[in-house]
Amino acid sequence: MILNLGVIDVPYHEQNGTTTGEVAQRLEDDYKVMNTFANMHEDFISNAIANDVQKGIEDIMGGAQLSGVSLNGACDKIIVMFNYFIDNKQMDGLVDGVPTKASLMGKNSRFKKGKQKDVRPSFKDTGLYEQSFTAWVSE
């Protein structure tokens, strides 16, 4: 069983065909965003998975007919924690170049002028990268 972290690949409308997959790959190559998240929150991730496994075992012992244990709840919790990780600037100071220059300048494509008054979280310009983040389990 493998826990995967990634993004749902969708295009950025304002960036000439660039997709969230391409942006995620660049951010991973340059800053190791998801790798840093996974390392920083390893205990949280492990506990979320362990809780789902325990619940599945309890369901089976209680007579439920299951074909396997679902880790959907754990994956949902990991997605929420990733959003918290980005929104609360948890990478700031951990990796060279973070906070990013764009975040310190308040660059924000969601605003008409392309800028906000104060610093924004790194890796959250349009919000699409964060919104497209997902976690899933594969064999």
Packing angle of the helix pair 33-40, 72-87 (nearest 10 deg):
110
Residues pairing with 27 in the sheet: none
Per-residue pLDDT of the chain (139 residues; tens, 9 = 90+): 899 999 999 998 766 788 999 999 999 999 999 999 999 999 999 999 999 999 988 888 888 877 777 899 999 999 999 999 999 999 999 999 999 988 888 776 655 555 556 788 999 888 899 999 999 999 8
Provide CB contacts within 8 A for 98, sequence distance 6+: 31, 91, 92, 122
The answer to whether the predicted template modeling score (pTM) of the entire model surpasses 0.85 is yes
How many CA atoms are closer than 13 Å to the CA of 126, on its beta-carbon side? 14
Long-range contacts of 59-68 (CB under 8 A, 24+ apart): none
